[in-house]
Amino acid sequence: MEKRRKKGTGTISEYEPGKWLAKVVINGKPFPFYGDTEKGVTKRLDDFLDEMSKGKKTNKKISYSEFLDIWLEMKKEEVKIQTYERIKTDLDCHIKKELGFYNLDRIDDTIIKEFLKKQAKKLSYEGVKRNYDNINASLRYARSLGKIISNPVDLVPKPRSTSAAFLDEQKDEDELQILTDDEIKRFVEACNATSKNGIRIYPNSGIYLFMLNTGLRIGEAAALEWSQYNEKKGTIRIYGTKIRYKDESGKEIIAFQKNVKTVRSARTIKLNKKALEALPIKRDGKYIYGGKGGHLINHSNLYRMFKAICKRAGIEDKSSHCLRDTFASKLFANGVDVKIVSEILGHTKVSTTYDKYITLIQAQKAEVMDSLEVY
């Protein structure tokens, strides 16, 4: 059903149940806006027409920073809240700081290339690629609105992970953090530490032992529900993660997101004996490792507890991701094929696992060759 509006202001239609389309044609070119609600697409269409109207009446110069706010507001209707927050952070911390002061129509390919070159010296490949994608998408939108004649990103090659800028300098977040056997022993003892009355010093510390024996990301482990646990088969189904974002007032919100990081992140894991032992004996609430009142455990509490446990164990400069890396290292040490490791960890592609743990794989191959005797 199509709802006609005043001539020249477009149309609104529900093209399938719960799916709305607002569209206007300007100078023969259609501008569509999709959404889940009539109100949402109507607002985006009206905002678009308002921007076009302002541009025609005043021909006012607009800074790239101002336009990014317009683009971000449009993206808010298209992406999940976690993706929106990540884009906003990238814009505020990187793009606006370096490029925001330019007038929108003054940004060219040279400026963008210099920006990406500088970013490559301090960010990982993924971080630079996100900045490239955000600049490209925002300027493509600017072109569709008639704010610029062409998109300068068309003249800027997309960053490549094999570029010397990323190969010459190993980024800290890509470095493996693997606990030694002695550190593992001390870490487990610290997690299980009790006070004089026999009560655990660190409530919910079992989450870290569970991660150490499953390779789960901390967001996945924190979001685990009892309904995902198959006690009869001894398996856990991973299909969600804990996310953090800020509402319009700036208040931090902790929520559960059903779709995990990637399609292959959704997986079923067979739990080993130690992982089963790390499960709470008492089922208190919806979440396996829930906070007070059965709610999702606060991220700050998880961070502080992990740091306190590490301090007690005499382990320094480690993030909770070291548990995932340590688990992967044990799999490779036991001769598990990289494809199986990739499936257990929930990586999108086997190549992701290979690139991440290349040093472990090479060590495994060297050990095999040292022990191999053909005759």
Structural domain count of the chain: 2
326 falls within a domain: yes
Residue length of the chain: 375
207 falls within a domain: yes
111 pLDDT higher than 50: yes
Is the same domain home to 242 and 353? yes
Contacts of 76 (CB under 8 A, 6+ apart): 84
Q: How many helices (H) and strands (E) does the chain have?
A: 16, 9
CATH at 103: 1.10.150.130
pLDDT digits (tens, 9 = 90+) for 313-360: 999 888 899 999 999 999 998 889 999 999 999 887 888 888 888 878
40 falls within a domain: no
pLDDT digits (tens, 9 = 90+) for 202-237: 988 999 999 999 999 888 898 899 999 999 999 999
Is the same domain home to 212 and 357? yes
Instruction: Give residue for tokens 């101002």.
Output: 66
29 falls within a domain: no
Is the same domain home to 83 and 106? yes
CATH at 293: 1.10.443.10
Is the same domain home to 222 and 278? yes
Is the same domain home to 231 and 316? yes
Whole-number CA gyration radius for the chain: 25
Bridge partners for 241 per DSSP: 257
Is the same domain home to 196 and 162? no
Distance CA 311, CA 67 (A): 46
Reported as a pLDDT band with limits 50, 70 and 90, residue 297 is: confident
Contacts of 264 (CB under 8 A, 6+ apart): 343, 346, 347, 348
170 pLDDT higher than 70: no
Tell me which of 134, 167, 200 is where a domain ends: 167
* Enclosing domain of residue 94: 61-167
Is the same domain home to 199 and 243? yes
Helix (H) or strand (E) holding 211: helix 206-212
Instruction: Read off the pLDDT of each residue in 180-202 and give the average, rounded to a whole number.
Output: 93
